[in-house]
Amino acid sequence: MTGLVKRSTGSWYDVLDPLEHRLYKCRLAGKMKLQEKELTNPVAVGDFVEFSVENEDQGIINIVEPRRNFVARQSPRQKHQIHIIAANLDQALLVSTIREPDLKLGFIDRFLLTTEPQDIPTLIALNKCDLWNEEDNELFEGVKKLYNDIGYTVLKVSASRGEGIEDLRSRLSGRTTLISGQSGAGKSSLLNAVHPGIGLRTSELSGYTGKGTHTTTFAEMFETDPQTYVIDTPGIKTLGFNNLEIMDVAHNFREFFLRSPQCRFGSICTHRNEPDCAVKKAIEEGSVSALRYQSYLSICEEIDAQNYWERKKKY
């Protein structure tokens, strides 16, 4: 039978039989656990799978059908393995904020580095606009221009006040959307506002740390309307990229990649120390964001440091 993976808890998967609209609790066939050694999870939410029924409500997944695309992150435990968050997406929605918690542009840039390699259109929703003052609204306009200029859509929303909710609902309609966000940004509250029947758990910021607390434990797909699916995922506190090489990063900052043919060293330019770099020239001229460039340098420095320590271990 062919089914759609709607929820993953690590060892068990909720698989929907779309013909009978029936859920089965499935585990992996033994042979699948030996495949895809670079992955921490051979099956992800959004995957289409072939499974066999064991009894009335349980089954075994035997085959994962080829993925159209996927969003993955570095495994927090195995630095050179990746964890697939979700697969077969039409778009992604990143939920962030300007305050409570404070805006982190570097976090947005890091998330975009998970969707850009797969050409997944990404919306950026800045939530809690009901808390903003005049200065915050000016900051929003600056952030909106920064990302609009390189082809991303930035939305101003408030889950509690309802601002921007109808627009967001229309952008999700008829699509399969991965919903991700900075911990504490109000992702679950926003989804509840867009689709009141979804009933996700929410929580406040930690009073001790001022940071977000996770209310979503596992990735899970919800059908909110006919042909409209949202995949809710746990809030993210950090995103590392030690599984990538420097050129992977350079090629997926889209405005850098577009200018690399004009660099002296073309597509192999890392845009750091090379002479006649078109990206660094564009930053000096103001046509490329210096803030985005700082995010890029920060990621590259982390990768360099990881590579250095790995070389040290060999000697």
Residue 244, pLDDT score:
86
Q: How far apart are CA 176 and CA 179, in angstroms?
A: 10
Query: Does residue 202 lie within any of the structural domains?
Result: yes
Q: What is the pTM of this model?
A: 0.89
The mean-pLDDT minimum among 186-195, 212-221, 303-312 falls in: 212-221
| Chain-centre distance for alpha carbon 189 | 18
Which amino acid is it at 35?
Q
Last residue of a domain, one of 204, 232, 260: 232
> What is the rounded average pLDDT for all residues in the chain?
89
**What are the structure tokens assigned to 28, written together?**
């992996």
**What are the structure tokens assigned to 212, written together?**
């977000």
Last residue of a domain, one of 45, 64, 83: 64
84 in the same domain as 223 = yes
Over residues 22-66, the pLDDT tens digits come to 999 999 987 766 555 678 888 999 999 999 999 889 999 999 999
276 in the same domain as 162 = no
84 in the same domain as 107 = yes
**What are the structure tokens assigned to 275, written together?**
């002479």
Count of the separate structural domains present in the chain: 3
Q: What is the CATH number of the domain that holds 208?
A: 3.40.50.300
144, with CB counted inside 10 A (0-12, 13-18, 19+), is middle
Which amino acid is it at 245?
E
Residue 314, pLDDT score:
65
Is the pLDDT confidence value at 307 over 80?
no
Is the pLDDT confidence value at 89 over 80?
yes
Mean pLDDT of 282-308: 93
Place of tokens 């759609």: 4
The mean-pLDDT minimum among 102-106, 170-174, 235-239 falls in: 235-239
Helix axes 290-313, 278-285, angle to 10 degrees: 140
Cis peptide before 18 (omega within 30 of 0): no
Residue 243, pLDDT score:
76
Query: Does residue 96 lie within any of the structural domains?
Result: yes
Query: Does residue 238 lie within any of the structural domains?
Result: no
State percent of the chain over pLDDT 70. Answer: 87
Is the pLDDT confidence value at 14 over 70?
yes
Q: Which domain holds residue 209?
A: 70-232
**What are the structure tokens assigned to 160, written together?**
């509690």
Residue 3, pLDDT score:
96
Q: Which whole-number Å values give the CA distances from 226 to 81, 86, 123, 206, 229, in the listed order?
A: 35, 20, 21, 36, 8
Place of tokens 């440091």: 305
35 in the same domain as 156 = no
Is the pLDDT confidence value at 209 over 70?
no
State percent of the chain over pLDDT 90. Answer: 71
Q: Could you tell me which residue, 234 or 66, shows the higher pLDDT? A: 66
Q: How confident is the model at residue 158 (pLDDT cuts 50, 70, 90)?
A: very high
Query: Does residue 129 lie within any of the structural domains?
Result: yes
Mean pLDDT of 181-198: 90
Residue 33, pLDDT score:
60
**What are the structure tokens assigned to 252, written together?**
């997926």
Q: Which whole-number Å values give the CA distances from 149 to 128, 133, 152, 220, 255, in the listed order?
A: 23, 24, 7, 32, 9
Mean pLDDT of 133-161: 97
Query: Does residue 237 lie within any of the structural domains?
Result: no
Mean pLDDT of 91-105: 95
